[in-house]
């Protein structure tokens, strides 16, 4: 836990640094996504070695802001979208720990090239909040529906557990499929739910992975079944 807390403090410092270089994430506008953004919507935390940001444009400008203590691990531009990763190795508790930041411009891509298009509404609907990531940080996080869609598009095991927590505590967004038509492929969204996400949560062993991730005993069989029922209503 000490190592994880120290690593999270390093992430917090990265967030603070980016904020100072972008006028509080306004120029260009950066929106924190991923597991850290999830903390705004559910009363759970899970640790991550990276923080993730989305922006509509301006990644070349961000590239020039890289702190001297970090390395440019990746920079890829394809058509109108781009991706960049900064990384840092820090000695924590006698171990070398890697932390980093991923930044995605114009599109966010899933494991099988599914895409979420970052549009003007994504930026407009983002909320500025105070979030504790080792230290208190003021950041933009996505609207609930947009974060929910991002979890569907990614659909890694950690994202599926995140979605279960979101549905358990806040339900399925009412405008989910309407928003999906604007930023993604609605058929892909439904197929991900039907073929990957719902089957995973339907497995009775899912409860154990959920409890292990979020360190809670409150999520049980009734909660799991209720989450599955609500997700099935979408498809």
Q: What is the CATH number of the domain that holds 31?
A: 3.10.450
170 and 131, same structural domain? no
**1 pLDDT tier (thresholds 50, 70, 90):** low
51 and 8, same structural domain? yes
Of the two residues 220 and 91, the one the predictor is more confident about is: 220
Instruction: Give the domain range for residue 70.
Output: 1-142
Distances (CA, A) of 201 to 95, 138, 192, 208: 35, 33, 13, 11
8 and 23, same structural domain? yes
81 and 41, same structural domain? yes
- Percent of residues, the chain, with pLDDT higher than 90: 80
In angstroms, the CA 122 to CA 141 distance is 10
Checking if the pLDDT of 85 tops 60, the result is yes
* pTM for the structure as a whole: 0.94
Under DSSP, is residue 81 helix (H, G, I), strand (E, B) or coil? Answer: strand
Last residue of a domain, one of 107, 142, 177: 142
Lowest mean pLDDT among 37-41, 65-69, 93-97: 93-97
How many distinct structural domains can be found in the chain? 2
């Amino acid at each position: 836990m000490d190592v994880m807390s120290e690593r999270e403090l390093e992430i917090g410092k990265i967030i603070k640094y980016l904020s100072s270089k972008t006028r509080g994430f306004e120029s260009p506008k950066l929106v924190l996504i991923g597991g850290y953004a999830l903390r705004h919507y559910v009363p759970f935390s899970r640790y991550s070695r990276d923080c993730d940001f989305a922006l509509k444009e301006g990644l070349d400008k961000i590239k020039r802001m890289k702190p001297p203590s970090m390395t440019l691990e990746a920079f890829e531009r394809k058509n109108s979208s781009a991706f960049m990763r900064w990384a840092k190795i820090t000695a924590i508790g006698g171990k070398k720990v890697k932390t980093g930041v991923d930044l995605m411009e114009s599109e966010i891509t899933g494991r099988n090239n599914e895409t979420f298009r970052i549009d003007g509404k994504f930026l407009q609907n983002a909320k500025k909040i105070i979030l504790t990531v080792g230290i208190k940080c003021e950041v933009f996080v996505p609207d609930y529906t947009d974060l929910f869609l991002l979890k569907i598009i990614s659909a890694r095991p950690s994202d599926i557990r995140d979605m279960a927590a979101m549905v358990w505590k806040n339900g399925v967004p009412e405008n989910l499929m309407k928003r999906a038509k604007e930023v993604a492929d609605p058929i892909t969204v439904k197929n991900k739910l039907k073929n990957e996400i719902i089957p995973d949560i339907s497995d009775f062993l899912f409860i154990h992975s959920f409890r292990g991730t979020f360190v809670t005993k409150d999520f049980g069989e009734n909660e799991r079944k209720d989450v599955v029922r609500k997700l099935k209503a979408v498809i």
